[in-house]
Chain A
Amino acid sequence: MDNEKIWQLLILKLSGEASIEELDELDHLLQQHPDLALHAASVESIWKSKGTRAPADTDHLFNRHLQRLSDGTADNTPFHPIPDVRRRTSGTKRIFFIAASMAAAAIITVIMFNTLSVNGSLPKPATPAVSGNFVSTKNGSKSKLQLPDGTQVWLNSGSNISYENDFGGTSRQVKLTGEAFFDVVKDPLRPFVIHTATLDIKVLGTAFNVRSYPEEKVTETSLIRGAVEITLKASSEKKIVLKPNEKLVVSNDSSSFIKDSSHAVNTLKKPTVMTLTQVHHLEKDSIATEMLWTRNKLVFDGETLSEVALKLERWYGVKVIIKGEELKDIEYTGVFSDDNLTEVLYALQLSGNFKYVIRRNEVIITP
């Protein structure tokens, strides 16, 4: 019976469930049964010699898991993550997945922000809208969200949008850094205002694209339908009303703007300050290039390699380094759908006469 007791105590010890008393008792018993002590020792070594399993490729597995989840969810359960730009699946399924993942990304970021505020132990984000809602996208991911009033917002990579908790009370105000496409629900009683670093956009009900990245030289507003009224931060008495298919490009450098503002608004001839142009369609009857990103298309519309590099950094979440000043101002035009970074770079270098190396998250472009 002693033997049986030893085995019982031994498995408790091996499972990490033995109390100190039990461990003592086991030691004591084993001293009395040296034959079993040897067994016990070898069993213990065997038990403990756990090979390390090769770590599974969890990114790959998890993405596949998410795909199954989004494919199968009838209730359109929100989901996150990074749309896999490399994957080419057929039509509708893919669009659904992107939509699902975009929607989810938004929800998730909102949630993460709320979690931080609840915990209170973590430093609060430096944005003024701490009391409200904050949605941001990292480079390499996009998201779509719906504001409390039903307004749809597509948020491009490396961007953020915030609004106070009282959004929709008497007015609808959001702050935007980066690029977003808005489809605003009509509500004449509560004007919808978007604040960017350079200008404010007031709308009643409309669809338009705003691009206001701090690292870019200009802020662009492209109106698809409806009407918007734009107020420049640098000279608030000037109001510019855009008509459908018009696009306003304003320099982010407000000092240069103030200097020339008297001419700029009327003549619109100083491209460094402010330009009113048409929304661009690469093909007749196609959707405007300015909003193609919401369809997961990467567009370069006569953009210099420097601008292209910025877009690539945001779109793919990489760092792009251009070595060679002479390359930076060459312009590129092209539309890429679902292409991976290598495919895009390959296509660009065919016409651009440069070389590139991709190293982990870094792209180096050389003459």
Chain B
Amino acid sequence: MEKRELIAQLQRKVALCDDMTAYRSLYDLLHQELFLFSFSIIKSREVAEEIVSDVFIKLWRIRNELLAIGNLTVFLYTIAKNLSINHITRNYKYPKVSLDAIEVENVANFDNGEELFITAELAKRIQHAIDTLPSQCKIVFQLVRESGLKHKEVAAILNISEFTVRNQLVIAVKKIAAAAQLNIPPARSRSTPQNKILPPTD
């Protein structure tokens, strides 16, 4: 079953029957991505874990009203975002109100898999490229790529337009392309003059 469909079904079970098993399944399905999302804002594993737990506590408390919620994923992410921002504003001298003003941690994950396309050197450069993205851009990229959310969902969570989501993605992808450009093997022909291998930098 598709993940969204599954989540919607579990949502109904929790709402109608207080079904603890369904609740647990929702936790299993979503806690890790919510954790990464919260961690990227909070930058503390302990606090991020607590926030995810708080998100699910909230979910249980309002379980009887869940039917009214159209997209549970968006709903849970939004709570996670608000709790994360609240945590930061509570703990800092100068309250920051938007995610844009918060330095966001990079939690993107790249792996060679079996293709061996990404060398350690390339992975490092991509990570660096993502590291240097603006906060909102980084978050958008992570929500779409790491968590597989739809543009519409990301827009709803971050309270921005879909248009903005796409533009932020283009910025991120261009950055990655620039980092990867240095890696295109000459053997694949069509090499353009910029296509040179740089000595490893540190």
Contacts and interface: CB of A to CB of B under 8 A. Distances in A.
Interface string B155-174: 00000000000100110011
A45 interface: yes
Interface residues of A, number: 49
Contacts of A53: 32, 109
Contact of A65 (B56, B117, B145): B56
Contacts of A14: 144-145, 169, 173
Interface string A42-58: 11011101111100101
B177 interface: yes
B190 interface: yes
A31 interface: no
Contact of B169 (A11, A56, A61, A68): A11
Interface of B, secondary structure class, is: helix
A15 B169 contact: yes
Interface string B170-202: 100110110011011000101010000000000
B6 to A, nearest CB: 16
A330 interface: no
Contact of B21 (A7, A16, A34, A112): A112
A64 B150 CA distance: 31
B172 to A, nearest CB: 8
B175 to A, nearest CB: 10
Nearest to B174: A7
Given A11-B166, A73-B57, 14 more contacts: A11-B169, A15-B144, A15-B150, A35-B190, A39-B181, A42-B184, A43-B173, A46-B180, A49-B115, A56-B32, A58-B31, A62-B24, A75-B61, A79-B20
12 contacts: A15-B169, A39-B181, A45-B117, A50-B109, A51-B113, A62-B27, A68-B50, A69-B53, A69-B56, A72-B57, A111-B17, A111-B19
Interface of B: 13, 17-21, 24, 27-28, 31-32, 49-50, 52-53, 56-57, 60-61, 109-113, 115, 117-118, 122, 126, 144-146, 148, 150-151, 166, 169-170, 173-174, 176-177, 180-181, 183-184, 188, 190, 192
